[in-house]
Amino acid sequence: MAPWKLGGRVAMMAGVVAVLVLSGCQQDRPTEPTNGVEARREGQGSEDAGLNRLHHLVVIYLENHSFDNLYGEFPGAKGLANASGTTTQVDGAGTPFATLPMKAGSPFPTTLPNAPFNIEQFVPATQKIPDLVHRFYQEQEQIDGGKMDKFAFVSDAQGEVMGFYHTSPLPLSTEASNYTLCDNFFHAAFGGSFLNHFWLIAARTPVFPNAPTTIIVQLNPDGSLLKDGQVTPDGFVVNTSFTVNNPHPSDVPAQNLVPNQTFATIGDRLSSKKISWAWYSGGWNDALAGNAAPLFQFHHQPFAYFANYADGTAA
């Protein structure tokens, strides 16, 4: 993710895309519930007649690029042109890098200036490049108290974090032109897909009481990271973890599986208002059958972590 404007979770990477659909039934054609998730709308008055014109709301959840990485050149947006004060990257001592540091074997040269650079000079936009670290504590270290200057230092991909694509040729640029582009929208929680999926459906962080010590984070007295893990010292699950329900990877020890969560989700709220809804994810049935496709992401299925939708429930 491009560091000078931390705007993760606003563009799609190659991988599974999850979709949440809210389906509002017409008042004169109510749909009877068919399971614990679906319900019909009822008791609506004239005050929301305008909203009743909307039959479906589809939320497509996109992944793993910052705003500037893809939309930094979008006309009129607060992108690369506004980034000059936060682009210089520094090392652990706070000294600016002479050139962007690059990992051994990187497709990018070690002579690049300490500034944003266009990826397509070296790698076509259609070619995959190494992923960047996006974890709970590392993102906070990268932000460096708001100075936004340690993305290259606190990254497994080092200076690659400063790369961007030209905006206008990208297919998503056309979509942004046709609709609304939120240039000041950032992901809800520090870290990656796992935690941000929870925040998408519940605006809360899952908990893991009495988690195994092997997966608990250890911090130094000053609060800096000593040993990374999945669960914070006070019991919140912040990095990629898997549900005790199915599906989950077969090689994860049972004691490391996140117990069922009981706080409310948007699904619960919709069901209580008799509004039908569904969560779609490509490859779900194959994963349940133990044949998960390579692109299927177990930790991208947030409802599977909840008691209301656990194995054996109607929902």
**C-alpha count within 13 angstroms, C-beta hemisphere, residue 144:** 21
How far apart CA 115 and CA 99 sit, in angstroms, is 8
- Closest C-alpha to 135, from 111, 119, 151, 115: 151
> Does the structure show a pLDDT above 50 at 32?
no
Average pLDDT over residues 5-33: 41
For the stretch 102-159, pLDDT in tens is 999 999 999 999 999 999 999 999 998 888 899 999 999 999 998 999 999 999 999 9
Judge whether 246 and 305 are in contact, CB under 8 Å: no
Q: What is the DSSP letter of 259?
A: P
pLDDT at 19: 63
| Distance from C-alpha of 96 to C-alpha of 150, rounded to nearest angstrom | 10
**Is the pLDDT at 310 greater than 50, yes or no?**
yes
Give which of 95, 104, 77, 224 is closest to 160, Cα–Cα: 104
Distance from C-alpha of 23 to C-alpha of 40, rounded to nearest angstrom: 9
**Residue 87: its pLDDT value, please?**
78
Q: What is the pLDDT of residues 73-103, one digit of tens each?
A: 999 999 998 887 677 999 999 999 999 999 9
List helix spans (H) across 207-309.
266-272, 284-288
What's the average model confidence in pLDDT over 239-258? 98
What's the pLDDT band for 56 if we cut at 50, 70, 90? confident
**Mean pLDDT along residues 61-65:** 76
**Tally of CB atoms within 10 A around 306:** 24
Nearest to 155 by CA among 139, 166, 170, 178: 139
CA–CA separation, 298 and 240 (whole Å):
10
Question: Of all residues in the chain, what percent are helix, strand and coil, respectively (each to 5)?
Answer: 25, 15, 60
Beta-strand pair 163-164/117-118 = parallel
Per-residue model confidence (pLDDT) at position 136: 96
Report field, pTM of the whole predicted structure over 0.95:
no
pLDDT tens for each residue of 208-234: 999 999 999 999 999 999 999 999 999
What pLDDT score does 296 carry? 95
Q: What is the mean pLDDT of the chain?
A: 85
Q: Is residue 243 predicted with pLDDT exceeding 70? A: yes
Average pLDDT over residues 62-71: 86
